């Protein structure tokens, strides 16, 4: 059975507790498809005040995470950087390469990951040079720490480890809609607030349903995310108001 071991280094280990107990991730942990150990960085602090940050050289606001505890934590969990290292070490950071589904698939194929969560203004650059294999960003916005990005990585990889989802078809990008946005979904009742579920979905014609879904996925992707189709799109295509819900029409 495939499995993945993830070590998390953080100043807020308690943030991960309900997350790791709940839903798809909780199930993946429970059945042993992923194993997650969360480590308090302060355990690697050197002084009795358990200091992990210091003022930035050159001045400026906030604090920087000091290198000694971080490098010691990472090397304790992954070994020294290089070919013999036992885990792939990821720092969550807005300076990182943007994470996408292909990136998650690469991470899920590893045996061991160490996810390093920064706080404050970030980590001393020497930590990155000496001990980090890869910096990853979950998007172009600023959070207060790497914990929520690390949870995004864990949730994203958990559903890719074989056997985690009840329905293996709903995982990954193997399906025909790979790389496209999913079109609309409906459940009962057939009429709600005067809005009707499209007839084809209730027809029982599986081929027609598949064709309808594929077309809606292509149309939605072309309108909202032409970049996913390798098309640039224009500013007006991305921003023009459309009729209907305030989102877009068919
Ligand atoms: N961070 N994707 C850690 C992020 C972020 C992101 C902000 C990470 C502050 C210290 N991480 N620092 N976006 O906003 O990964």
Binning pLDDT at 50, 70 and 90, where does residue 135 land? very high
**Whether the CB of 149 sits within 6 Å of ligand 1:** yes
Question: How does 106-133 read in b/e, with b if 16+ C-beta sit within 10 Å?
Answer: ebbeeebbbbbbbbbebbbeebbeebbb
**Whether the CB of 148 sits within 6 Å of ligand 1:** no
**Three-state SS at 191:** strand
Averaged pLDDT of the chain: 91
- Cα of 190 from ligand 1 centre, angstroms: 43
Angle at 54 between CA 53 and CA 59, to 5 degrees: 135
Nearest CA to ligand 1 atom 9: 145
Give the predicted TM-score (pTM) of the model: 0.91
Give the containing element (helix H, strand E) for 210: helix 206-224
Residue 239 has a pLDDT of: 57
141-175, pLDDT tens digit by residue? 999 999 999 999 999 999 998 776 554 545 544 44
pLDDT at 14 over 60: yes
pLDDT at 4 over 90: yes
Strands (E), 99-243: 112-117, 134-137, 191-192, 195-196
Residue 231 has a pLDDT of: 81
Nearest CA to ligand 1 atom 7: 143
- Average confidence (pLDDT) over 191-200: 98
- Cα of 141 from ligand 1 centre, angstroms: 8
22-76, pLDDT tens digit by residue? 999 999 999 999 999 999 999 999 999 999 999 999 999 999 999 999 999 999 9
Residue 27 has a pLDDT of: 96
- Cα of 108 from ligand 1 centre, angstroms: 21
């Amino acid at each position: 059975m495939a499995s993945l071991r993830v070590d998390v280094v953080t100043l807020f280990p308690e943030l991960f507790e309900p997350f790791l107990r709940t839903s798809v991730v909780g199930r993946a942990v429970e059945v042993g498809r992923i194993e997650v150990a969360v480590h308090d960085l302060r355990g690697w602090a050197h002084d009795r005040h358990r200091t992990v940050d210091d003022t930035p050289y050159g001045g400026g606001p906030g604090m920087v995470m000091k290198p000694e505890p971080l490098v010691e934590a990472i090397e304790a969990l992954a070994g020294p950087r290089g070919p013999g290292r036992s885990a792939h070490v990821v720092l969550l950071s807005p300076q990182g390469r943007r994470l996408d589904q292909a990136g998650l698939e690469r991470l899920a194929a590893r045996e061991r990951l160490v996810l390093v969560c920064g706080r404050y203004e970030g980590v001393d650059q020497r930590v990155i040079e000496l001990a980090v294999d890869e910096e990853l960003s979950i998007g172009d916005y600023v959070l207060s720490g790497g914990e929520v990005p690390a949870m995004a990585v864990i949730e994203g990889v958990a559903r890719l480890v074989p056997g985690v989802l009840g329905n293996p078809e709903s995982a990954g990008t193997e399906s025909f809609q790979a790389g496209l946005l999913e079109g609309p979904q409906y459940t009962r009742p057939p009429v709600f607030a005067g809005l009707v579920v499209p007839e084809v979905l209730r027809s029982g014609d599986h081929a027609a349903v598949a064709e309808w879904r594929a077309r809606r996925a292509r149309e939605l992707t072309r309108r909202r995310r032409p970049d996913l189709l390798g098309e640039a799109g224009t500013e007006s295509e991305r921003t023009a108001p459309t009729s209907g819900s305030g989102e877009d029409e068919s």
